[in-house]
Structures are given as structure tokens and as C-alpha cells.
Chain A
């Protein structure tokens, strides 16, 4: 079945570091991918919609200069957390599907810990 690969699965780094997370669709092309943030025991919060070949669409309250999204190909979207601080520590998840109203396939998430 369709698989979405997310890398890395766990990152621990110092405050001020920029961290890049990759999301790949392995056996289908995804013109749109989604990035979420999830706090412990809470739901997924949509951060942004990543559009291949164009600018990402950010949800209200999400700083686009803080969370840089690049969707350079039909199989890869990246989320870069710039100058990360402890409050950015969270579980970040991506998803992709073969259409917005089609099943979404999720990556296994990236646990980001900023010291």
C-alpha cells in the first residue's frame, strides 16, 4: 500500500539550531502534503499545507518564517524549524494523499526535543 516516509524519527538539539524534517511519498505522487504538530495526549493540529511548486499555505497563528516548508518535487516536502527553541519541542507529523478527498497516509512522525 501507499507509504509515507518521514525522517528523522527523533531529533535532540541545542536551542538556536535549525532542524530539517523530510516527508517522502514512496509509491505515489503528492501535489499536496500536510504538516501537523501534536502535543502529548492531544489531537493533530494542522500547521500548513505544502504545495508542490508553489508557496505553502500556513494556518492562522503558525509563523511561516519559523516553520519553512519546501515542496520541491512530487514526492518530497521538507519542514525546517528555524532557530528552534524549547517551546518548539513537539511531535511533528506529515501526511500525503493522492488527492485532498482521498485517504491520507501519515509518516511515523518526528519527535523534536530542543534543549
Chain B
């Protein structure tokens, strides 16, 4: 079912470091690429999203880089904090498909 491939599966980063999570998609008809953050026992929450007409979007410490020709996009978390420890999912709409998820741990 997955048409969005996400890596790495898990990531450990020191506080203050940069966390990078990557996703690749197949269907060029996708035109909305969000990242969701999920804490245990909760539903996912939208973190940041991008449309394919731009190559980068930044919101605070979170940046999406989008490479349309390579069909790849990535999430960068600058100055990572322990509170960022969660599972992150990329997705590609209009198909409502999610990546496999990345479990991020930020060590103090």
C-alpha cells in the first residue's frame, strides 16, 4: 500500500543537533506533501507541509526541502530538543498514503 518510502526508521540526535528525515514518492500526481508528528497514544498532528511549486519551506526550526525532479522531500529539524522526540510521518496527498515513520529520539 505504501507509495511513500521514508528513512531512516529510527534516529538518535543530541540536543541542539540537526535531525534529517527523508521521503521519496512515486506518483507525480501527488501535489501536497505534509509531515506529521505523533506522540504515543495520540493521533498525528500536522507539523509542516509543502506544495511542489516551491523547493523549500521553513517554519521556525522546521524546514521541508523538496526536489521535484528526484521525487524526494525531506524534513530538517534544527536545534533539536528532547521535546521533539516523537514519531514523524511523511505523506503524499491526494492519496492519503503515509511513510513508514521515523522514531526520533533527542538526547539531552
Q: Give the number of A-B contacts (CB < 8 Å).
A: 56
Contacts of B49 in A (CB 8 A): 103
Say whether A93 faces chain B, with CB atoms less than 8 Å apart.
yes
Which of B53-61, B62-70, B72-80, B92-100 lines the interface with chain A?
Answer: B92-100
- Determine whether the beta carbon of A42 is less than 8 Å from that of B101: yes
Say whether B46 faces chain A, with CB atoms less than 8 Å apart.
yes
The verdict on A101 contacting B31 (CB below 8 Å), with A46-B1, A93-B43 known, is yes
When C-beta atoms are compared, the residue in chain A nearest to B49 turns out to be: A103
Contacts of A95 in B (CB 8 A): 43, 96
Q: Residue A49 contacts which of B42, B96, B101 (CB distance < 8 angstroms)? A: B96
The verdict on A109 contacting B43 (CB below 8 Å), with A43-B2, A45-B1, A101-B32 known, is yes
A105 to chain B, nearest CB (A): 7
- Determine whether the beta carbon of A59 is less than 8 Å from that of B94: no
Say whether B45 faces chain A, with CB atoms less than 8 Å apart.
yes
Q: Residue A109 contacts which of B41, B89, B93, B101 (CB distance < 8 angstroms)? A: B41
Docked complex Cα distance between A88 and B96 (Å)? 22
Docked complex Cα distance between A69 and B41 (Å)? 23
- Determine whether the beta carbon of A105 is less than 8 Å from that of B46: yes
Chain A stretch 84-114: residues in CB contact (< 8 A) with chain B = 93, 95, 100-109, 111
Beta-carbon contacts of B32-44 to A below 8 Å, as 1s and 0s? 1010100001111
Name 21 A/B residue pairs within 8 A (Cβ), A-sorted: A34-B96, A43-B98, A43-B99, A43-B100, A43-B101, A44-B44, A46-B1, A46-B97, A49-B96, A93-B44, A100-B93, A100-B94, A101-B31, A101-B32, A101-B93, A102-B32, A103-B49, A104-B91, A106-B43, A106-B44, A108-B42
Query: A residues touching B (Cβ–Cβ < 8 Å)?
Result: 4, 6, 34, 41-46, 49, 59-60, 93, 95, 100-109, 111
